[in-house]
Amino acid sequence: MGDLYSLLKQKLNTLKVEGNTYYIAEGDTLLDDEQLKIYADVRQKENEARAAAKDADSKGFGSSRLEVSHGLVAMTRDGKVVRWAPGTILTYRVVQASFPSAQHYQMVVDNLKLATQAWENTCGVNFQHAAQLDGTAGTDRAGCIFVAYYFDAGGSVIASSFFPSDPPDRRHLLIDPTYFTTSFDKVGVFRHELGHILGFRHEHIRNEAPPVCPNEPLWDTQVLSVYDPKSVMHYFCGGVGSHDLQITDLDRKGARMVYGPPLGAAALVEPA
């Protein structure tokens, strides 16, 4: 990524807005430095994929891409949507000792609380912060469904999570140091990561997304609604996506197909 990023940084025109420098990509898209890195990364991946497809073609392997006809994309197993079993309480702990300061830890605790609430208000899922386990030594799950901790991934991600079908030893939410400086909404970053934890894939891997957006194999996916460029699961790429990563109406619709309405929305009916 470094080469293309440096090249774009040199070549693109810049614009200064309220003291911040933005790079002008694709004519009308303003990118700050971090977004330029992401943009360069996806462009490079796209170029590599094209070259690899050409290479595979020349070797007679073909380069078939997996197609889907048509905002949320769910992961599947054997044609069925993968989800947490009903009644599962998605408990988590935040490893306090992994963070460089009490403020960093508290920010993550607070933002995760808001992000989990956003999903609980969206569909029938239930998260629970096992705060009493935050002081437990080590980074194991300590009986929780997942564990969140500070992890220096060298800026390769802002945060990284897992899918429900992953082996339990991969159930960690990793938070890179760049999380604390990102220009993306920090609660939104967690909304996005929690979306993966619930089994939702990236929205921008759909064919309707701008070609510049990064691709991922679609063989184990099921689309749940029409393409949503503002989906919480959509990266900021090709001039679409968003910085605040809110859960949209289409996200809500798709999530409810999998998990039903929010648990708090269910009316209690006394038997006659």
Partner 1 sequence: MDPFAKILASLPGLEGRLKESGIERWLKEQRTVSVEGKTYFVLGGDRFASEAEAMLTFAVEHGLVAPEALRAAASQQPLPPDVEAVSVDIPKGDR
Q: Is residue 249 at the binding interface for partner 1, with CB under 8 A as the rule?
A: no
Residue 70 within binding range of partner 1, rule CB under 8 A: yes
Site string for partner 1, 204-223 (x = CB under 8 A): ----------xxxx-xx-xx
Q: How far is the CB of 171 from partner 1 (least distance, A)?
A: 9
Q: Residue 98: left (phi > 0), alpha (psi -120 to 50), or beta?
A: alpha
Nearer to partner 1, 22 or 74 (CB): 74
**Residue closer to partner 1 (CB basis): 22 or 175:** 175
Which 8-state DSSP code applies to residue 43? Answer: H
- Scanning 12-68, the segments in alpha helix (DSSP H) are 33-58
Q: List the interface residues with partner 1, window 168-187 (CB under 8 A).
A: 168-169, 172, 174
Please give the backbone phi and psi of residue 22, each rounded to the nearest 5 degrees, phi first.
-120, 145
| Unique residue bearing structure tokens 């988590």 | 92
Among 80, 101, 267, 269, interactor with partner 1 by CB under 8 A: 80
DSSP single-letter state for residue 240: B
Among 46, 40, 151, 28, CA closest to 94: 151
* Residue 137 makes contact with partner 1 by CB under 8 A: no
Strand partners, 272: none
Q: Which of 56, 97, 265, 266 binds partner 1 (CB under 8 A)?
A: 56
Binding of partner 1 by 242 (CB under 8 A)? no
- Given a contact cutoff of 8 angstroms between Cβ atoms, the answer to whether 81 and 222 are in contact is yes
* Candidate segments 22-30, 94-102, 177-185, 188-196, binder of partner 1 by CB under 8 A: 188-196
The residue among 23 and 190 lying less far from partner 1, judged by its C-beta, is 190
Q: Does 8 bind partner 1 (CB under 8 A)?
A: no
CB 233 within 8 A of CB 201: yes
Sign of the Cα torsion 258, 230, 194, 171 reads positive
Q: How many other β-carbons are positioned within 10 Å of the β-carbon of residue 271? A: 3
d(CA 65, CA 216): 10
Instruction: List binders of partner 1 among 142-161 (CB under 8 A).
Output: 145, 151, 153-154, 156-161
- Contacting residues toward partner 1, per CB under 8 A: 41-42, 45, 49, 52-53, 56, 59, 61-64, 66, 69-70, 74, 76-85, 88, 139, 145, 151, 153-154, 156-162, 164-165, 167-169, 172, 174, 192-193, 196, 202, 214-217, 219-220, 222-226, 235, 253, 257-258
